[in-house]
Amino acid sequence: MKKYLLPKEGFFYKANLHCHTTVSDGALTPEEVKEAYAAKGYSIVAYTDHDVFIPHPELTDENFLALNGFEIEANEPKNCGKILRKCCHLCYIPLKKDNITMPFFHREKYLFGNAKNYVDQVKYDESHTDYERSFSPECINDMIRMGRENGFFVTYNHPTWSQEDYSDYMAYKNVNAMEICNYSSYSLGYPEYNERVYDDMLRGGERLYCIGADDNHNRHPEASGLWDSFGAFTMIKAEKLEYEAVTEALVKGHFYASQGPKIHELWFEDGMLHVTCSGAARITMTAGRRKAYVAYSHMGEPVEAASFPVAPEDNYVRITVTDALGYHANTNAYFTDELFEEA
């Protein structure tokens, strides 16, 4: 039985799921961000300014969807005595467009950049005490749990820039997705292509997706290498460009992450994983054990399709498409107990 892992029906929409504007520490207004991204073929931007949840429904039209959202951070204290002050950043996108109440809010602390000027616009439960953050697995997992329970899609962001290592991120549980590429950090010189982190978390027992995102702040000229837009994105396959159709696709994993290459189709059939894509230098299949397969371009001809055998003991499998410039497209991981159970 042929099982499409990226749905056969629907449309691909190009999305930036991590964005900053003048509401916090970005240089462009929300309207300017829409204009810039729409001009580059994006259909979706999630507005995830720091520490304040400010929806932008006025930016949505028939060709552009503004997803609501916010980002929070937990930092090691300045007086911790460590050379590397670690932090953890998480983004939250509500699954319902009318869910505009911010959980774990603090009225005075943790307000980044211009966020302090928008506190009066934040909707929160006033019966709750101000939420105190700490850089600890207990607090971070509590914020993940509360986000999920309150109807948000939660992503774990830029572990390299955050100075987090295996001992940190392996303690985080039940995020929906992690950033396999964060372009803003990459543009600043950080090696923020995080394939190994994704595999570590998968092999540690987490079942999570991977996204590509700009995390744009746009503080530098567009012509410079420090311009941090349009370098990593998520291609979402949804029935239509409407808020809850798109968030349903996020929850179901109907998307892939990319720095440029395109994945056209992905399906599982008779124990084989099949992919078609834009012309690539190589296509690899990674598994949840010591096993990998690769298809290369031949005699200068790009490879545009590949098929790989999958075994139940592989735990999970995922595809990476790499083009001639070294840019990647990454599928989510697909677990073999689900593939073979439904095949």
Q: Is the pLDDT of residue 246 over 60?
A: yes
Q: Is the pLDDT of residue 343 over 60?
A: no
pLDDT tens readout for residues 274-315:
999 999 999 999 999 999 999 999 888 999 999 999 999 999
Residue 79 banded pLDDT, cuts 50, 70, 90: confident
Separation between Cα atoms, residue 270 and residue 153, nearest integer Å:
33
What's the per-residue H, E or C state across 268-298? Answer: EECCEEEEEEEEECEEEEEECCCCEEEEECE
Of 126-135, 171-180, 219-228, 290-299, highest mean pLDDT: 171-180
Measuring CA to CA, which residue among 275, 268, 288, 281 is closest to residue 326? 281
pLDDT for the residue 126: 92
Measuring CA to CA, which residue among 322, 314, 304 is closest to residue 339? 314
Q: What is the mean pLDDT of residues 200-214?
A: 98
Residue 78 banded pLDDT, cuts 50, 70, 90: confident
DSSP class of residue 63 equals T
DSSP 3-state assignment of 53? coil
Tell me the whole-structure pTM to 2 decimals: 0.97
Measuring CA to CA, which residue among 280, 328, 273 is closest to residue 302? 280
The owner of tokens 């983004």 is 91
E strand or H helix that includes residue 212: strand 209-213
106 and 100 in contact (C-beta within 8 Å)? Answer: no
End-to-end alpha carbon distance in the chain = 6
Residue 81 banded pLDDT, cuts 50, 70, 90: low
Q: Is the pLDDT of residue 1 over 60?
A: yes
76 and 140 in contact (C-beta within 8 Å)? Answer: no
At residue 337's C-alpha, the angle toward residues 336 and 338, to 5°, is 85
Q: What is the mean pLDDT of residues 121-148?
A: 96
> Largest Cα–Cα distance of the chain, in whole Å?
67
Q: What is the mean pLDDT of residues 225-245?
A: 97
134 and 104 in contact (C-beta within 8 Å)? Answer: no
Strands 255-258 and 233-238, by their bridges, are: antiparallel
**Residue 58, amino acid:** E
pLDDT for the residue 257: 99
Measuring CA to CA, which residue among 201, 213, 202, 207 is closest to residue 167? 201
Cite the DSSP H helix spans in 59-194: 137-149, 166-169, 183-187
Q: What is the mean pLDDT of residues 19-43?
A: 98
pLDDT for the residue 9: 96
Residue 266 banded pLDDT, cuts 50, 70, 90: very high
Tokens of 310: 């999958």
Residue 101 banded pLDDT, cuts 50, 70, 90: very high
Separation between Cα atoms, residue 310 and residue 124, nearest integer Å:
47
Residue 74 banded pLDDT, cuts 50, 70, 90: very high
Strands 65-67 and 44-46, by their bridges, are: parallel
Q: What is the mean pLDDT of the chain?
A: 96
Q: Is the pLDDT of residue 178 over 70?
A: yes
Separation between Cα atoms, residue 267 and residue 269, nearest integer Å:
7
Tokens of 19: 């964005």
Between 15-19, 47-51, 223-227, 252-256, the lowest mean confidence (pLDDT) is in: 223-227
The owner of tokens 């993940």 is 144
C-alpha torsion angle, residues 28, 176, 159, 210 (rounded to 10):
-80
142 and 171 in contact (C-beta within 8 Å)? Answer: no
pLDDT tens readout for residues 194-205:
999 999 999 999
